[in-house]
Amino acid sequence: MAHEHFSIHPAPVTALARDFTASSERLDDRISTFATRAENVNDAFGVMSESTEVLSQYVEMTRQTVTSLRQLSAGLRHYAAGLQHTVASYQGSDAMQAQQFGGK
């Protein structure tokens, strides 16, 4: 007979959500630092037309990298929010069922 029961352990799921949030916050700090330093190359590529083209490509690549890193950070925040919502929904459902069956 298959069990039709779903349960989670809220504490580890909540801890995982906190880890995702903390990772996102650390990543945000590092993204800002990276973006500032990566685009501040001044004359590192020289002044010849070929170098100017390479510099332009480098700057574009750096901007795309920063955009991707920001998307990653946002994804971590969304995962954290989803996990927190899951825990809240589970606890609410669990409490409601306990109340229906006379539990506490």
**Could you tell me the mean pLDDT of each successive run of 10 residues in the chain, 104 residues long?**
76 98 97 86 65 84 95 98 96 88 72
What does the alpha-carbon distance between residue 27 and residue 70 come to, in Å, rounded to a whole number?
Answer: 8
Q: What is the pLDDT of residue 6?
A: 76
pTM beyond 0.85: the answer is: no
Q: What is the pLDDT of residue 43?
A: 62
What does the alpha-carbon distance between residue 41 and residue 58 come to, in Å, rounded to a whole number?
Answer: 10
Residue 96 CA, chain-centre distance (Å), reads: 32
Nearest to 10 by CA among 95, 72, 75: 95
Which domains, from first to last, does the chain contain? Answer: 10-98 (1.10.287.850)
